[in-house]
Amino acid sequence: MLLLECPYCGVTAEETEFHGGGEAHLKRFGPGSSDDDFETYLFHRENPRGVHFERWRHVTGCGKWFHAARDTATLEVFGTYSAQTTTPPEDLVELIRKKRPGFKWRDIA
């Protein structure tokens, strides 16, 4: 069972109260960008076995989008945080590093 806490209303609930929205922190490319950048934005997604940053929406509660860091293999949730950030919070990254030595994600090493 996957338990998530909405960072906006503070409710902790099973994943059935939420809706997954795919990978978090995607850099968007639009008109005027190169074909390669646009293709990457549209189609390329990370699919790690381990720590992953995802978008979730609290559909049965406040309705807001947020981000969650979790392990896709163990379902351990490291934390949830505002969707208004372009990178994960540093304190959350430190927590992940303590639990998963050698953790790397994009530019975060």
Which residues of the shown chain bind Zn ion in the complex (CB under 5 A)?
Answer: 6, 8-9, 58, 61-62
- In angstroms, what is the minimal distance from the CB of 77 to Zn ion? 15
The whole-angstrom separation of Cα 71 and Cα 34 is 33
Residue nearest to Zn ion (CB): 6
Rank residues 6 and 92 by Cβ distance to Zn ion and give the closer one.
Answer: 6
Rank residues 38 and 65 by Cβ distance to Zn ion and give the closer one.
Answer: 65
Rank residues 8 and 29 by Cβ distance to Zn ion and give the closer one.
Answer: 8
- In angstroms, what is the minimal distance from the CB of 103 to Zn ion? 27
96: phi then psi, degrees, rounded to nearest 5: -65, -40
Burial state string for 51-81 with b = 16 or more CB within 10 A and e = fewer than 16:
bbbbbbbbeeeeeebbbbbbbeeeeebbbbb
